[in-house]
């Protein structure tokens, strides 16, 4: 029983716990860590983690391109680059710098083998000859010179950064070094992309909440028409957001691109709870003429249904844990907890505040259009039930065709805005060089008598490199093979034409002796022991689908052409792991949605004690998902880790209105004993709040269309589409299913 005493107690309890959680808000942090998107508990992840302990992580690098409108091999262009890179090399977090301005090679001289600069920057005549040799070199030409011939690339390998702040500082230091030295630089790498994503998340985080509050305020002015009621509703919804963010800060959860959606999601879900309670108070007040009684009656009528809808929405979000990716799992867990907290806060505070302050409640009759609309819908449902069913069947067929065209695909920086400079730089490296994504193949010798640096193994590795180039288009390949070829070149007049494997047994022996004596540093990069090595390079970001197909073709080719008695190999690296996360998506998504439907079906079965009601509940709620998937298929919008959350969010939320309608229908069905009258009364009592909550929910999710991330934009758009589709299904298809499938007997429910 809600009265003044219990209301005061509810307010005190709520604000005590809210205060504890709000106290943690200053500890909230933002982050975007690419490795978090790797599949959890995956054997490929375990292998990469072990592999990276030996060779380091394959994405700890910066690619820098220096552009010029003049000649590429000009002293005025190269010398500032060289002096800048020498400064970069001295930075504490720099491990290695690869640049044509600093590379040396060992050449035969009367005094023996001596290190000679690849480019003589201080001698104009020698530099001209060097440039011709450079252009003719198969490795250096591909690795350092752009396809258009007006850019020079350098590769900076850096330490593993423990925090985003350290990474940001390092990138800023590198940029500052070249600020006055070169007219324009392009830069790509994980540290750069991470900063761009985090900054965009920060911008979106505040923007989403602000725009959502403004838009929802506008609708509340229309529906509630009392400033005191509007402030109360917005405040309680805001408290739900504060409580959840406070919980995230308490548990050390940082805001990433997905968890930045949680505040806006909770804002509209909490508002939905409030709207249902408010509209029932509106309906009860004229009957009782007593606010306290109206509040108690409303809580009794809608409280259980709202609890069930909160639970089913939470279940919808919790199914995200099946996607096996940490940021998505976190989104599911914290959104689910927030939804439950929103229900508790709403039912603790809203009835209590209304009881204590007694604001004037406007009559629902003032809103004649929404009040009369359910009656018109009832007439349509009873007179045109066949038309509605035929329309649903046709729509299902159209959706089936669209869904068959849905594909899984993702790009590394595609979610960034079209004109974002970071995105432009990554595209530049994909267009002008071999690419920006790391390629890594782990290698090991199976025969103790043939270590990595043996003629038999190197010959096999050369086959592998050729297949990599053919099937993946990866370039800048460096491996034990490239070191052997460079050694052979040094021992044969340094001509680029000698960049090849030795041709005689004597040359092989000389090359291996040369590597042991002079190339210990290069040997350690690509070969850690006599039996373990790697091939690394870069390739273009043409999407996870393209990369997966190329990797499959490569592995099939290697199965046929490589001597498996001699060497073993395994694809590894961050690119493989991200692509695998996308590849696993469809199976896990279907599993998660199936689990959600089973749980919702069980709840419905227990509530209504009828297997038919399970089907009647699920069919209208599958339509929004089918429509969204079909639209994505028709418009070739790919399914990926970011857009996959659309379906869990949609199903979890759209089932709410179905449960509200069916709960009211059950009550009226037991009272009247006839389907038509029960449907009419259920539409009359729940139709208006369902329409209002759909408007509020759609408004809240449309906010995501203002995002700088394309995936977030699509989420806002398609979740909103699912809400509108669900509204039509609940108001038209659901009543028809009840008319056709349920017997006209009270006992059946």
- CA 81 – CA 101 distance, rounded (Å): 8
Using the predicted structure, report yes or no on whether residue 749 has a pLDDT greater than 60: no
pLDDT of 540 = 92
pLDDT of 528 = 59
Every domain range in the chain assigned CATH 1.20.1640.10: 4-34+195-404+584-748
pLDDT in tens, 417-445: 878 899 999 999 999 999 999 999 999 99
Note the Cα 514 to chain centre separation in Å: 48
Q: Which residue has the tokens 């989403």?
A: 208
**In the chain, % of residues over pLDDT 70:** 95
- CA 548 – CA 575 distance, rounded (Å): 10
Assigned token pair, 28: 């909230």
Using the predicted structure, report yes or no on whether residue 524 has a pLDDT greater than 50: no
Q: Which residue has the tokens 């050729």?
A: 466
Every domain range in the chain assigned CATH 3.30.70: 60-188
Give the pLDDT band (50/70/90) at residue 746.
Answer: very low
Using the predicted structure, report yes or no on whether residue 526 has a pLDDT greater than 80: no
Partner residues linked to 108 by β-bridges: 113
- State phi, psi for 449 to the nearest 5 degrees: -80, -10
- CA 719 – CA 624 distance, rounded (Å): 9
Residue 360 DSSP one-character state: P
Give the pLDDT band (50/70/90) at residue 523.
Answer: very low
Question: Averaged over 52-58, what is the pLDDT?
Answer: 86
Q: Which residue has the tokens 């999601």?
A: 265
pLDDT of 555 = 94
**Burial letters for 503-540: b for 16+ Cβ neighbours within 10 Å, e otherwise?**
eeeebbebbbebbeeebeebbebbbeeebbbbbbbbbb
Using the predicted structure, report yes or no on whether residue 558 has a pLDDT greater than 60: yes
Interhelix angle 480-490/455-472, nearest 10 degrees: 110
- CA 698 – CA 716 distance, rounded (Å): 9
Give the pLDDT band (50/70/90) at residue 730.
Answer: very high
pLDDT of 183 = 73
Assigned token pair, 741: 């499938």
pLDDT of 145 = 93
Q: Which residue has the tokens 């552009």?
A: 67
Q: Which residue has the tokens 């699920």?
A: 618
Give the pLDDT band (50/70/90) at residue 212.
Answer: confident
Q: Residue 184: in which H helix or E strand, if any?
A: strand 184-188
Assigned token pair, 74: 């000009």
Question: Averaged over 714-742, what is the pLDDT?
Answer: 92
Residue 729 DSSP one-character state: I
Label each residue of 265-313 as H, E or C.
Answer: HHHHHHHHHHHHHHHHHHHHHHHHCCHHHHHHHHHHHHHHHHHHHHHHH
pLDDT in tens, 344-353: 999 999 999 9
Closest CA to 401 of 698, 626, 161: 626
- Torsion angle of the four alpha carbons 182, 138, 481, 466, in this order, in degrees rounded to the nearest 10: 120
Using the predicted structure, report yes or no on whether residue 90 has a pLDDT greater than 70: yes
Most confidently modeled of 221-235, 414-428, 722-736? 722-736
Homologous superfamily in CATH for domain 4-34+195-404+584-748: Multidrug efflux transporter AcrB transmembrane domain (1.20.1640.10)
Contact 577, 44 (CB under 8 A): yes
In this predicted structure, which of 61-65, 359-363, 460-464, 720-724 has the lowest mean pLDDT?
Answer: 359-363
In this predicted structure, which of 55-59, 149-153, 586-590 has the lowest mean pLDDT?
Answer: 586-590
- CA 272 – CA 362 distance, rounded (Å): 18
Contact 440, 573 (CB under 8 A): yes
Total residues found in the chain within this entry? 749
Question: Averaged over 486-504, what is the pLDDT?
Answer: 86
Question: Averaged over 354-370, what is the pLDDT?
Answer: 76
pLDDT of 711 = 82
- Three-state DSSP at 531 gives coil
| Burial environment of residue 301 by CB neighbours within 10 A (0 to 12, 13 to 18, 19 or more) | buried
pLDDT in tens, 240-279: 999 999 999 999 888 887 888 888 889 888 998 998 899 8
- E strands in 375-492: 437-445, 475-478
Higher-scoring residue by pLDDT: 229, 495: 229
Residue 160: other Cβ atoms inside 10 A: 13
Partner residues linked to 534 by β-bridges: 442
∠ Cα 359 360 366 (to 5°): 145
pLDDT of 341 = 94
Q: Is 368 left (phi over 0), alpha (psi -120 to 50) or beta?
A: alpha
pLDDT of 569 = 93
Q: Does the domain at residues 60-188 carry the CATH identifier 3.40.525?
A: no
Contact 232, 350 (CB under 8 A): yes
Residue 194 DSSP one-character state: H
Instruction: Please give the C-alpha separations between residue 443 and each of 52, 297, 531, 569, in angstroms, as whole numbers.
Output: 13, 72, 8, 4
pLDDT of 530 = 67
- CA 134 – CA 325 distance, rounded (Å): 45
pLDDT in tens, 382-393: 999 999 999 999
Q: Which residue has the tokens 């500052």?
A: 176
Using the predicted structure, report yes or no on whether residue 307 has a pLDDT greater than 50: yes
pLDDT in tens, 123-146: 888 888 888 888 888 888 999 999
pLDDT of 437 = 92
pLDDT of 420 = 86
Partner residues linked to 564 by β-bridges: none
- CA 719 – CA 646 distance, rounded (Å): 6
In this predicted structure, which of 74-83, 610-619, 736-745 has the lowest mean pLDDT?
Answer: 736-745
pLDDT in tens, 617-657: 899 999 999 999 999 999 999 988 778 888 888 888 888 88
Using the predicted structure, report yes or no on whether residue 380 has a pLDDT greater than 90: yes
Average pLDDT, the chain: 87
Note the Cα 381 to chain centre separation in Å: 41
**In the chain, % of residues over pLDDT 90:** 39
């Amino acid at each position: 029983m809600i009265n003044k005493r219990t209301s005061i107690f509810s307010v005190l309890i709520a604000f005590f716990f809210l205060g504890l959680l709000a106290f943690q808000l200053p500890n909230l942090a933002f982050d975007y860590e690419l490795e978090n998107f790797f599949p959890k508990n995956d054997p490929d992840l375990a292998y990469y983690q072990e592999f990276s302990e030996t060779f380091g992580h394959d994405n700890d690098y910066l690619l820098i391109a220096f552009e010029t409108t003049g000649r590429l091999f000009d002293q005025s262009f190269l010398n500032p680059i060289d002096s800048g890179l020498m400064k970069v090399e001295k930075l504490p977090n720099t491990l290695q710098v690869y640049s044509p301005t600093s590379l040396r090679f060992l050449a035969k001289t009367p005094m023996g083998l001596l290190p000679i600069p690849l480019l003589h920057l201080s001698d104009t005549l020698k530099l001209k000859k060097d440039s011709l040799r450079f252009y003719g070199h198969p490795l250096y030409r591909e690795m350092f010179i752009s396809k258009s011939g007006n850019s020079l690339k350098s590769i900076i390998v850096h330490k593993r950064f423990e925090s985003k702040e350290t990474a940001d500082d390092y990138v800023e230091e590198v940029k500052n070094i070249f600020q006055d030295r070169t007219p324009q630089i392009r830069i790509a790498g994980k540290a750069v992309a991470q900063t761009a994503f985090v900054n965009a998340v920060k911008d979106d985080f505040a923007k989403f909440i602000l725009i959502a509050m403004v838009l929802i305020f506008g609708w509340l002015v229309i529906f509630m028409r009392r400033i005191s009621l509007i402030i109360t509703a917005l405040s309680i919804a805001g408290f739900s957001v504060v409580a959840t963010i406070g919980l995230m800060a308490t548990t050390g959860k940082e805001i990433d691109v997905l968890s930045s959606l949680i505040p806006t999601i909770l804002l509209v879900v909490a508002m939905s709870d409030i709207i249902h309670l408010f509209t029932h108070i509106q309906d009860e007040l004229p009957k009782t003429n007593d606010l306290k009684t109206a509040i108690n009656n409303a809580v009794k009528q809608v409280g259980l249904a709202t609890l069930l809808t909160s639970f089913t929405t939470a279940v919808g979000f919790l199914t995200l844990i099946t996607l096996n990716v940490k940021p998505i799992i976190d989104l599911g867990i914290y959104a689910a907890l927030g939804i439950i907290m929103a229900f508790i806060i709403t039912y603790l505070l809203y009835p209590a505040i209304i009881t204590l302050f007694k604001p004037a409640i406007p009559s629902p009759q003032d809103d004649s259009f929404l009040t009369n609309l359910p009656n018109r819908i009832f007439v349509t449902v009873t007179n045109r039930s066949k038309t509605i069913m035929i329309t649903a069947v046709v729509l299902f067929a159209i959706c089936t065709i669209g869904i068959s065209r849905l594909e899984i695909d993702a790009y590394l920086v595609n979610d960034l805005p079209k004109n974002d400079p970071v995105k432009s730089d990554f595209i530049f490296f994909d267009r002008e060089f071999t690419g920006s994504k790391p390629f890594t193949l782990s290698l090991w010798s199976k025969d103790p008598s043939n270590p990595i640096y043996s003629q038999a193994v190197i010959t096999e590795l050369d086959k592998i490199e050729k297949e990599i180039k053919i099937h993946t288009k990866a370039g800048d390949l460096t491996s034990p093979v490239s070191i052997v070829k460079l050694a052979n070149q040094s021992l044969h007049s340094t001509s680029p034409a000698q960049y090849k494997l030795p041709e005689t047994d004597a040359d092989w022996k000389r090359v291996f002796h040369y590597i042991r004596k002079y190339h210990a540093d290069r040997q350690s990069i690509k070969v850690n022991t006599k039996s373990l090595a790697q091939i690394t390079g870069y390739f273009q970001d043409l999407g996870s689908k393209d990369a997966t197909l190329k990797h499959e073709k490569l592995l099939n080719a290697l199965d046929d052409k490589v001597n498996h008695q001699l060497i073993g190999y395994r694809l590894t690296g961050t690119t493989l792991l991200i692509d695998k996360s996308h590849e696993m998506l469809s199976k896990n998504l279907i599993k998660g949605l199936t689990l959600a439907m089973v749980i919702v079906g069980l709840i419905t079965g227990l509530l209504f004690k009828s297997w038919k009601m399970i089907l009647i509940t699920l069919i209208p709620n599958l339509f929004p998902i089918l429509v969204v998937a079909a639209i994505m298929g028709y418009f070739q919008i790919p399914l990926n880790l970011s857009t996959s959350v659309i379906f869990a969010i949609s199903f979890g939320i759209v089932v709410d209105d179905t449960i509200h309608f069916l709960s009211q229908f059950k009550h009226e069905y037991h009272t009247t004993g006839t389907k038509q009258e029960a449907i009419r009364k259920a539409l009359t009592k729940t139709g208006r709040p369902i329409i209002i909550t759909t408007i509020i929910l759609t408004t809240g999710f449309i906010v995501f269309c203002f995002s700088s991330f394309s995936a977030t934009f699509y989420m806002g758009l398609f979740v909103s589409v699912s809400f509108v589709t669900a509204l039509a299904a609940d108001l038209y298809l659901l009543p028809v299913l009840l008319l056709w499938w349920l017997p006209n007997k009270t006992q059946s429910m």
